[in-house]
Amino acid sequence: MSLPLDRAARVALPTTESVQHHETAVADLRRRRDDALARVPDLQALREHAAAIKGHTLGDLGTYLERFEEQARAAGAVVHWADDAPAHNRIVHDLLAERGVHRVAKSKSMLTEECGLNPYLEARGIEVVDTDLGERIVQLEGEAPSHIVIPAIHRRRQEIGALFHRTVGSPEGEHDPVVLTEIARQDLRRRFLSAEAGITGVNFAIAETGSLVVCTNEGNADLGMHLPSIHIACMGIEKLLPRLEDLPAFLRLLARSATGQAITAYTTVVTGPRPGGELHIVLVDNGRSRLLADPEQRGALACIRCGACLNTCPVYRRTGGHAYNQTVPGPIGAVLAPAFRSDREASTLPFASTLCGSCSAVCPVGIDLHGQLLAWRARAPFGGGRIRWVARLGAEVLARPRLYRLVGGLARLAWPLLSRRWPGNPANAWLEGRELPPHPGASFRSRFRLWSQGSRSREGSRSRGGSGE
Amino acid sequence: MDVALFIPCYVDQLAPSVGIATVEVLERVGCRVRYDPGQTCCGQPFVTAGEWSQARRLARRYLDRFAGADAVVCPSASCVATVRRRYAELSLGDTRVVKEVGARTYELSEFLVRVLNRPDVGARFPYRVALLQSCHGLRELHLGHPSEAVEIEDSAPGPTEAVLRAVRDLELVLPDPPDECCGFGGLFSVQFPEISTRIGRSRLVALAATGASHVTSTDASCLFHLEGLGRRAAFGPRPIHLAEILAWSEER
């Protein structure tokens, strides 16, 4: 009965050590987030302000998109619209092919991951080098990012040392992060200089000025958009903010929520192409306008991809991002899954939450993540047929106190049987790694009857709580 | 004060001693306790399973049973959170009744502190006890301050901690991190057994690291999960429900 994510977790983080490493690394990000945000005065007001701006923008997105397009064009950029991932990939490829580009330096962009741009371009003879260090690591490893901010967070330094030795010729046994970073930097510098085009993601776009805002810690996006003469920026249509003065609230929240930094090391506002260069902006829908039309779920479009909900999630901490089998993992990924995918696996992801609510509590823009997970569940109750039938039966029993008492009595008779694993035992999933509680004895309702008849049997509270007194 | 008891189905069937302890505590602070055997389940499992039409049937039943009560007390934060926070989303019709019954349904420690202003119920429990915060208690009923809510400057302990601090000779400790989920999650625990037990084991290690002899919670369900893991691994502090600690007193 276990669902796909449960099985995938055993593959994504297969050993106790790998789980512990991931758990520690991710929990550390959450701690840094706590420390950084604790120093922000009026944090709650700041979050509400940011949420209100997002809500307002999404409420009138069409107008802001038109305004943005107009202003970006006026500044000299070329704006392209893509309905879906294939259209996005085609647009980017055409731009590169028309200019005879064979080497591209790409900075971090979850959107291009979502669209599968790298394999698309590589299949057409264009070499794409991911220039964010974490993205570079997963690219060399031949895997997808497992976290939306720290793509290689699931990899330990020893693994990265071995990978670099295999792929970029670092000395064998070297796994000092500083040395490895320097080696990657030298390798990437060479590739930056030979790249003929730069592709970047976009963190925010400003409707009033037609500007793009790109945040990185490595400056790699800045090199990518300034060294080659062609810059292609790929963004989801939900990234808009109305005015430049709306930006600071988001910059204050983004880096603090993500890594605990006050601000990302490089925060670049780009308006139009650099002199003599070209700037192309690809605006991608890929399911977003459908989500926007869904009043119960549209809140997820406010997401600024800080990763705070991943970092605090007890589930994500123990599964790793790859187990989710999609670009965005964690609570926000589970909310987006049924909006963007129609397969059965996607419909099970909203169940991959204990509903502890920590995701909603850390979200800097106030997305009710666990509420939205519940709303998805109500639309597509898990498993259809069999579970439906079991639920129906359960409710029939619980709606009839006498029947409920009878079934409870039978279960208590069967307790010794239920407590052992045998094929077909309904308690098997529970018994995976756990015992059932000891036989509970008589139910509360029957004990209470004795109690109220004056016998005041104390036996009840002793049997479980016993500390040997 | 007259109190209607809500003993959720799983407590009734699987942790009856928690129900008895709840009655003892309430009577000790002078409440007259009434128990209606027509009650069963608040509907929580059906809410989390997405089976909202079934959840509605049970929610209506709950509202019918408890509509007249001044106070309903329940030794399970997640059930109270279902009544108070989730019923409103089920479109149950009369929103006034939903609101009123929700506002008058209390978790035990919440009732003792916020309604009776009696955190001290005269209990004594001479052990080191680790508190496992219930997520629903923490974030939906605000029975404490969740660690991620860094904007909250109020340093006064929430009701759960307050009643435990008032127990004589009890040394209260918190695991690190202080309030991560135990991994139970109801349906989650059987739909995702591997992940559920991974989370639970890591909590168990954190709880054991406090050196506590017991672990307590407002929710017996979280404790079943930890107890089940601890018994399988022969490891970890002994689970005891909050009500059972509060019922423990000198004369026993």
Check if B54 contacts A (Cβ < 8 Å): yes
For each of the domains in chain A, give its residue range(s) and CATH number, in order of start.
1-39+296-383 (no CATH), 42-286 (3.40.50.10420)
Strand order in the sheet with A266-270: A240-241, A204-206, A211-216, A266-270
Residue of B nearest to A5 (CA): B192
Per-residue pLDDT band at A353 (split at 50, 70, 90): very high
Radius of gyration of chain B from Cα atoms? Answer: 17
Q: B243 and A464 in contact (C-beta within 8 Å)?
A: no
| SS3 state of residue A140 | helix
* Average of per-residue pLDDT values in chain B: 95
Check if B153 contacts A (Cβ < 8 Å): no
Gap from B113 CA to chain A (nearest CA, Å) = 22
Which residue type sits at B85? R
Residue of A nearest to B61 (CA): A399
Per-residue pLDDT band at A450 (split at 50, 70, 90): confident
Q: Give the contacts of A155 (CB within 8 A, at least 6 positions apart).
A: A137, A138, A141, A163
Q: According to the model, what pLDDT value does residue A458 have?
A: 45
Instruction: Give the ipTM of the model, two decimals please.
Output: 0.96
Element (H, E) at A284: strand A278-284
Q: According to the model, what pLDDT value does residue A46 have?
A: 97
Q: CB atoms < 10 A from the CB of A130, how many?
A: 27
Test B189 with A357 for CB contact under 8 angstroms.
Answer: no
| Residue A272, Ramachandran bin (φ over 0: left; ψ between -120 and 50: alpha; else beta) | left
Element (H, E) at B161: helix B159-165
Instruction: List pLDDT tens digits, range A152-170.
Output: 999 999 999 999 999 999 9
Test A429 with B57 for CB contact under 8 angstroms.
Answer: no
Gap from A443 CA to chain B (nearest CA, Å) = 5
Gap from B154 CA to chain A (nearest CA, Å) = 13
Evaluate if residue A50 carries a pLDDT over 90.
yes
Selecting from A20, A451, A461 the residue whose C-beta is nearest the C-beta of B244 gives A461
In this structure, the strands spanning A197-200 and A211-216 are unpaired
Evaluate if residue A461 carries a pLDDT over 50.
no
| Distances B237 to A219, A389, B175 between C-alpha atoms, Å | 49, 38, 12
Evaluate if residue A346 carries a pLDDT over 60.
yes
Test B17 with A433 for CB contact under 8 angstroms.
Answer: no
- Pick from B42, B79, B196, B248 the residue to mutate for testing the A interface (most A CBs within 10 Å): B196
Per-residue pLDDT band at B94 (split at 50, 70, 90): confident
Residues of B in contact with A353 (CB under 8 A): 185, 188
Evaluate if residue A227 carries a pLDDT over 70.
yes
Residues A22 and A153: their CA atoms lie apart, in Å, by 7
Per-residue pLDDT band at A453 (split at 50, 70, 90): confident
- Region A288-305 average pLDDT: 97
Q: According to the model, what pLDDT value does residue A452 have?
A: 75
C-alpha A172 chain-centroid distance: 34
Residue A128 DSSP one-character state:
E
**pTM of whole model > 0.90?**
yes
Selecting from B49, B193, B225 the residue whose C-beta is nearest the C-beta of A6 gives B193
According to DSSP, the residues that pair with A212 across neighbouring strands are A205, A270
Q: Give the contacts of B69 (CB within 8 A, at least 6 positions apart).
A: B2, B3, B4, B101, B104
Evaluate if residue A466 carries a pLDDT over 60.
no
Q: According to the model, what pLDDT value does residue A382 have?
A: 66
Per-residue pLDDT band at B251 (split at 50, 70, 90): low
- SS3 per residue for B89-154: HHCCCCHHHHHHHHHHEEEHHHHHHHHCCCCCCCCECCCEEEECCCHHHHHCCCCCCCCCCCCCCC
Test A353 with B16 for CB contact under 8 angstroms.
Answer: no
| Residue B91, Ramachandran bin (φ over 0: left; ψ between -120 and 50: alpha; else beta) | left
Test A408 with B13 for CB contact under 8 angstroms.
Answer: yes
Evaluate if residue A60 carries a pLDDT over 90.
yes
Instruction: List pLDDT tens digits, range B203-247.
Output: 999 999 999 999 999 999 999 999 999 999 999 999 999 999 999
Residue of A257 and A383 predicted with greater confidence: A257
Q: CB atoms < 10 A from the CB of A164, how many?
A: 23
Evaluate if residue A454 carries a pLDDT over 80.
no
| Distances A7 to A319, B48, B194, B199 between C-alpha atoms, Å | 10, 21, 8, 15
Q: A234 and A201 in contact (C-beta within 8 Å)?
A: yes
| Distances B40 to A37, A243, A397, B6, B143 between C-alpha atoms, Å | 43, 55, 9, 9, 25
* Average of per-residue pLDDT values in chain A: 93
Residues A315 and A358: their CA atoms lie apart, in Å, by 11
- Of B63, B50, B127, the closest CA to residue B95 belongs to B63
Q: Give the contacts of B86 (CB within 8 A, at least 6 positions apart).
A: A374, B44, B47
Residues A91 and A103: their CA atoms lie apart, in Å, by 17
Selecting from A5, A354, A391 the residue whose C-beta is nearest the C-beta of B185 gives A354
Which tokens is A328 given? 């965005």
Which tokens is A114 given? 């979502």
Evaluate if residue B47 carries a pLDDT over 60.
yes
Q: CB atoms < 10 A from the CB of A458, how many?
A: 14
Per-residue pLDDT band at A467 (split at 50, 70, 90): very low
Residues of A in contact with B133 (CB under 8 A): none
Residue of A nearest to B183 (CA): A354
**Angle at CA A210, nearest 5°, toward A205 and A214?**
40
Residues of B in contact with A452 (CB under 8 A): 35
Residues of B in contact with A392 (CB under 8 A): 51, 54
Residue of A451 and A335 predicted with greater confidence: A335
Test A356 with B13 for CB contact under 8 angstroms.
Answer: no
Q: According to the model, what pLDDT value does residue A468 have?
A: 32
Evaluate if residue A1 carries a pLDDT over 70.
no
- Pick from A13, A374, A439, A461 the residue to mutate for testing the B interface (most B CBs within 10 Å): A461
| Residue A243, Ramachandran bin (φ over 0: left; ψ between -120 and 50: alpha; else beta) | beta
Check if B12 contacts A (Cβ < 8 Å): yes
Test A445 with B40 for CB contact under 8 angstroms.
Answer: no
What spatial distance separates the first Cα and last Cα of chain A, rounded to whole Å?
42
Q: What is the dihedral of CA A351, A352, A356, A357, to 10 degrees?
A: -80
Interface of B with A in 175-194 (CB under 8 A): 177, 180-181, 183-194
Q: B226 and A466 in contact (C-beta within 8 Å)?
A: no
Q: According to the model, what pLDDT value does residue A384 have?
A: 59
Instruction: List pLDDT tens digits, range B115-173.
Output: 999 999 999 999 999 999 999 999 999 999 999 998 777 778 999 999 999 999 999 99
Residue of A nearest to B38 (CA): A401
A62 burial level (CB within 10 Å; 0-12, 13-18, 19+): exposed
Test A465 with B21 for CB contact under 8 angstroms.
Answer: yes
